[in-house]
Homo-oligomer: A and B are copies of this chain.
Amino acid sequence: MQILSGKEVAAHVRGHLKKDIEQIVAKGRRPPGLAVVLVGDDSASQVYVGSKIKACKEAGVQSFEYRLPKNATYLDIQKVLKECIDNDQVDGILVQLPLPPGINTDEVIALIPPEKDADCLTAGNLGRLFKNQHVIAPCTPSGVMEILKYYKHSLEGLNAVVVGRSQIVGLPMAQLMIQANATVTVAHSKTKDLKSLLQKADVVVVAAGRPKFLGRDFFKKDAIVIDVGIHRDENKKLCGDVNTEGLSKSSYSVRWCGADDDCDVVT
A184 neighbours in B (Cβ, 8 Å): 185-186
Q: A86 within 8 Å of B by Cβ?
A: no
Query: How many copies of the shown chain assemble into the complex?
Result: 2
Chain A residues within CB distance 8 Å of chain B = 106, 122-133, 156-157, 159, 165, 167, 171-172, 174-175, 178, 181, 183-188, 190-192, 197
Given contacts A127-B130, A165-B178, contact A197 B171 (CB under 8 A): no
Question: CA of A175 to CA of B192 in the docked complex: distance in angstroms?
Answer: 18
> What CA separation (Å) do A129 and B130 show in the bound complex?
11
| CB nearest to A202 among chain B residues | B192
Chain B residues contacting A172 (CB-CB under 8 Å) are 130
Question: Which one of B122, B157, B178, B181 contacts A127 once the chains associate, using CB atoms below 8 Å?
Answer: B122
12 A-B pairs (CB sep. < 8 Å):
A106-B133, A123-B125, A123-B127, A123-B131, A124-B127, A126-B127, A126-B131, A127-B127, A132-B167, A156-B190, A178-B186, A185-B186
A186 to B185, CA, bound (A): 6
Q: Is B167 in contact with A130, judged by CB distance below 8 angstroms?
A: yes
- Interface centre among A126, A127, A167, A192, by most chain B C-beta atoms within 10 angstroms, is A127
